A and B are shown apart, each in its own frame.
Chain A
Amino acid sequence: MSTNTLQNDSRPARRHMGLRVSRALSNTAIYTLLIIISIIWLIPFVCILLQSFRVENTHQVGYVIPQKWGLDNYVRLFQTDFPRWYLNTFISALITAVLQTIIVLCMSYTLSRFRFKMRKPLMRLMLILGMFPGMLTMIILYRVLKDLGMTQENSVPGLILVYVASSGMGYYVSKGFFDTIPKSLDEAARVDGATRFQVLKKIILPLSKPIVIYTILTAFMGPWGDFVFARYIAFGTSKGMNVAVGLYNWLNKDQISKFYTMFCAGGVLVAVPVTILFMCLQKYYVEGVTGGAVKG
């Protein structure tokens, strides 16, 4: 009897207690989880950074903290073709970013704002084209570009052409953005006496800063980290490679023992500028990614 009353009495109190305790518990669990996640996600980058300063030997080792520290790996990078790769990558990424942004914006703005007869068929066609593996087209593009003298040492113009040419297909995200700008703004401007071009210039573009920045950022990061196309176009010629292909080759079975730490140093040099850029523009990137996924 007495235990029964006790239970009854304590129940409301325990309920209140329970809520607080369980919230504290679950928060602790989540913090622990987040800390573990952060460590897992950061470890590889910390490792790369540390290994790039390791000078006692150049091959892979089973420990993280270098026994001898130094900048030798970075210095030696400049005795290889690495600066050339870096320049190739930088130039192609920069020009691609500009051209691709223009093309993507043209495409997505048109598909968002104009209703013309071929609009739906066009979108359907691009959907279907997108289902073909893009790599397949490289076989022919390589040969055509080779005939035009835009491969191997002169890979940069060829690469830019390949990156930019089909970029109209990637219109989804920015079209989704344009769709969110009310159409009545266009209409008001047109009634106010603006041509379609003026509508774009004076109304839509000033409102589209986030998506323009997002497009530039992704258009830059694509070529910056591209491997497949660069691999095709440079085809074995060191001078025509970009950083991805060049560094990849350093990790070949027969090269890795000589170049492992230099790979890390090169990786750091490639990652740092783009990471800084990315962190500054993170807000716009997040906006673009989130919007794009919802719109599909």
Chain B
Amino acid sequence: MASVKLTDVKKVYDNKVTAVHDFNLEIADKEFVVFVGPSGCGKSTTLRMIAGLEDISGGTIEIDGEVVNDLQPKDRDIAMVFQNYALYPHMTVYDNIAFSLRLKKMPEDEIYEKVTNAAEILGITEYLTRKPRALSGGQRQRVAIGRAMVRNAKVFLMDEPLSNLDAKLRNQMRAEIILLRQKLDTTFVYVTHDQTEAMTLGDRIVIMRDGIIEQVGTPTEVFEMPRNIFVAEFIGAPKMNLLETELVKEGDRWFVTPFGAKIEVTGGKTDELTRKNVCPGSIMLGVRPEHMVLTANGGEGSIPCKLEVNEMMGSELHLHVYTEDGTRLIARVPTINLTMEQRNQLVYGAQLYLTFEGKVMHFFDKESQLNLIYG
């Protein structure tokens, strides 16, 4: 139960590659923070520096106010769950969970208490005498979590704990981690490359790219106010559509003109644009696929395009389309809004018209890629 503070943390490898650039972050006590980003973005490295498994090339890391740069992992009072579980293959499940407690020279009956308790919470009591190799992936994952749980550590670190599980199990374990978090009530740092995990688990999300923090914020913040194109594309699936377009100001009203359509900016965005004193001109316009709307036929406010792929997802359709200049867009259309006849017409090459509302737009600078409002 402790806060974690990273100040100008840097990681430079021997071959002069910088994996993490000046990383600054304060993690509050009992907060659940998720590091997310594509592979190689330095998220795991940062986590491992907190754990003490990687040397820190510069800056300081504090846990509970104490600088831990030169402390060995064992002296940092942290617990960690690894991607491949890292269960000791020669020990039973019980011994695996008890390992750290034995190193602390805790009395055996106390260990018994703690281990059985943790096993019960995780539902692995019946496997306590088995070796890890006799367990399924999900069970191994539970053991790994159990091993970290009994530690009562100040900080709970998780390095892509779910990425070795199949999709169904992953959803289930994700829910269990949320429950676990409520039970343990401690500080969590969680690394993943999966934005869904990040959105569902984190109090705050740290989005990283190439060793740099792109944005820190709550799930709502990063989803609704992405600081730049990278964040906008990374969060949300399928990823945000980007259209090169003109931003036009007519009096107090703002318009965008993608592919001949003319759509007015509405909602709070109009005021924001005015307040931020944004220059009209060529910009990148971002619209999430779920905000794309299929209209019956062409008109002033619609973009004509041709259907390329129609993915039936059950409750909705993912329509992959391309416009006249070849720009590819995706629209998520609820199945329920379409008649069977309409659905049958959505075949390769079908002419479609897409539009979207003014309040769902995101505006990015073409050069700096920054959000014109929140950047």
Q: Do chains A and B touch in the complex (CB under 8 A)?
A: yes
Does A195 sit at the interface, judged by CB under 8 A?
yes
What is the 8 Å Cβ interface bit string for chain B, positions 73-89, against chain A (1 contact, 0 not)?
11000111011101111
Q: Which of A182, A193, A195, A207 contacts B100 (CB 8 A)?
A: A193
- Asked whether, in the complex, the Cβ of B89 is within 8 Å of the Cβ of A207, the reply is yes
Does A295 sit at the interface, judged by CB under 8 A?
no
**Interface-lining segment among A49-57, A66-74, A162-170, A183-191:** A183-191
A207–B84 Cα distance when bound, in Å, is 17
- Asked whether, in the complex, the Cβ of B82 is within 8 Å of the Cβ of A194, the reply is no
What is the 8 Å Cβ interface bit string for chain B, positions 83-103, against chain A (1 contact, 0 not)?
110111110000000011001
Given known A194-B74, A194-B103, contact A189–B82 (CB-CB < 8 A): no
- Asked whether, in the complex, the Cβ of A192 is within 8 Å of the Cβ of B82, the reply is no
Given known A193-B103, A193-B104, contact A187–B53 (CB-CB < 8 A): yes
Tell me which residues from 197 to 230 in chain A have a Cβ below 8 Å from any Cβ of chain B.
198, 202-203, 206-207
What is the 8 Å Cβ interface bit string for chain B, positions 58-80, against chain A (1 contact, 0 not)?
00000000000000111000111
A198–B100 Cα distance when bound, in Å, is 11
- Asked whether, in the complex, the Cβ of A185 is within 8 Å of the Cβ of B103, the reply is no
A110–B336 Cα distance when bound, in Å, is 63
- Asked whether, in the complex, the Cβ of B99 is within 8 Å of the Cβ of A189, the reply is yes
Chain B residues whose CB sits within 8 angstroms of the CB of A195 once the complex forms? 72, 74
A193–B100 Cα distance when bound, in Å, is 6
Chain A residues whose CB sits within 8 angstroms of the CB of B83 once the complex forms? 184
- Asked whether, in the complex, the Cβ of A184 is within 8 Å of the Cβ of B99, the reply is no
Does B318 sit at the interface, judged by CB under 8 A?
no
- Asked whether, in the complex, the Cβ of B89 is within 8 Å of the Cβ of A192, the reply is no
Given known A194-B74, A195-B74, contact A188–B86 (CB-CB < 8 A): yes
A236–B166 Cα distance when bound, in Å, is 71
Distance in Å from the Cβ of A222 to the closest Cβ of chain B?
29
- Asked whether, in the complex, the Cβ of B88 is within 8 Å of the Cβ of A189, the reply is yes
A150–B100 Cα distance when bound, in Å, is 49
The interface centre, meaning the residue of A188, A195, A207 with most chain B CB atoms within 10 A of its CB, is A188
Tell me which residues from 122 to 151 in chain B have a Cβ below 8 Å from any Cβ of chain A.
147, 151
Given known A193-B103, A198-B103, contact A184–B74 (CB-CB < 8 A): no
Chain B residues whose CB sits within 8 angstroms of the CB of A188 once the complex forms? 80, 82, 86-88, 147
The interface size bin for chain B is 20 to 34
Chain B residues whose CB sits within 8 angstroms of the CB of A191 once the complex forms? 51-53, 73-74, 78-80, 157
Distance in Å from the Cβ of B103 to the closest Cβ of chain A?
4
- Asked whether, in the complex, the Cβ of A203 is within 8 Å of the Cβ of B103, the reply is no
Q: Which of A190, A193, A198, A203 contacts B88 (CB 8 A)?
A: A203
Distance in Å from the Cβ of B286 to the closest Cβ of chain A?
39
Distance in Å from the Cβ of A200 to the closest Cβ of chain B?
13
Chain A residues whose CB sits within 8 angstroms of the CB of B103 once the complex forms? 192-194, 198
Chain B residues whose CB sits within 8 angstroms of the CB of A194 once the complex forms? 74, 99, 103
The interface centre, meaning the residue of B52, B87, B100 with most chain A CB atoms within 10 A of its CB, is B100
Q: Which of A182, A187, A192 contacts B147 (CB 8 A)?
A: A192
- Asked whether, in the complex, the Cβ of A190 is within 8 Å of the Cβ of B72, the reply is yes
Tell me which residues from 228 to 249 in chain A have a Cβ below 8 Å from any Cβ of chain B.
none
Distance in Å from the Cβ of B38 to the closest Cβ of chain A?
21
Q: Which residue of B lies closest to A206 (CB)?
A: B90
Chain B residues whose CB sits within 8 angstroms of the CB of A182 once the complex forms? 84, 86
A59–B118 Cα distance when bound, in Å, is 77
A190–B73 Cα distance when bound, in Å, is 6
- Asked whether, in the complex, the Cβ of A185 is within 8 Å of the Cβ of B88, the reply is yes
A193–B79 Cα distance when bound, in Å, is 9
Tell me which residues from 266 to 283 in chain A have a Cβ below 8 Å from any Cβ of chain B.
none
Tell me which residues from 77 to 129 in chain A have a Cβ below 8 Å from any Cβ of chain B.
none
A207–B104 Cα distance when bound, in Å, is 22
Chain B residues whose CB sits within 8 angstroms of the CB of A185 once the complex forms? 86, 88
The interface centre, meaning the residue of A191, A193, A206, A207 with most chain B CB atoms within 10 A of its CB, is A191
Q: Which of B86, B89, B90, B100 contacts A187 (CB 8 A)?
A: B86
Q: Which residue of A lies closest to B90 (CB)?
A: A206
Chain A residues whose CB sits within 8 angstroms of the CB of B157 once the complex forms? 191
Distance in Å from the Cβ of A118 to the closest Cβ of chain B?
12
- Asked whether, in the complex, the Cβ of B90 is within 8 Å of the Cβ of A184, the reply is no
Given known A192-B99, A195-B74, contact A187–B104 (CB-CB < 8 A): no
A198–B89 Cα distance when bound, in Å, is 16
Chain A residues whose CB sits within 8 angstroms of the CB of B147 once the complex forms? 188, 192
Chain A residues whose CB sits within 8 angstroms of the CB of B90 once the complex forms? 206-207
- Asked whether, in the complex, the Cβ of B84 is within 8 Å of the Cβ of A184, the reply is yes
A185–B88 Cα distance when bound, in Å, is 7
What are 28 inter-chain pairs, A to B, with CB distance below 8 A? A182-B84, A182-B86, A184-B83, A184-B84, A184-B86, A187-B53, A187-B73, A187-B82, A188-B80, A188-B82, A188-B86, A190-B52, A191-B51, A191-B52, A191-B74, A191-B80, A192-B103, A192-B147, A192-B151, A193-B100, A193-B104, A194-B74, A194-B103, A195-B74, A198-B103, A206-B90, A207-B89, A207-B90
Q: A-contacting residues of B (Cβ < 8 Å)?
A: 51-53, 72-74, 78-80, 82-84, 86-90, 99-100, 103-104, 147, 151, 157
Q: Known pairs A182-B86, A191-B78, A192-B147. 12 more at Cβ < 8 A?
A: A184-B83, A184-B84, A187-B80, A187-B86, A191-B52, A191-B73, A191-B80, A193-B100, A194-B74, A194-B99, A195-B72, A195-B74
8 pairs of A and B residues whose beta carbons are closest in the complex = A192-B100, A188-B86, A184-B86, A193-B74, A193-B103, A190-B73, A191-B80, A206-B90
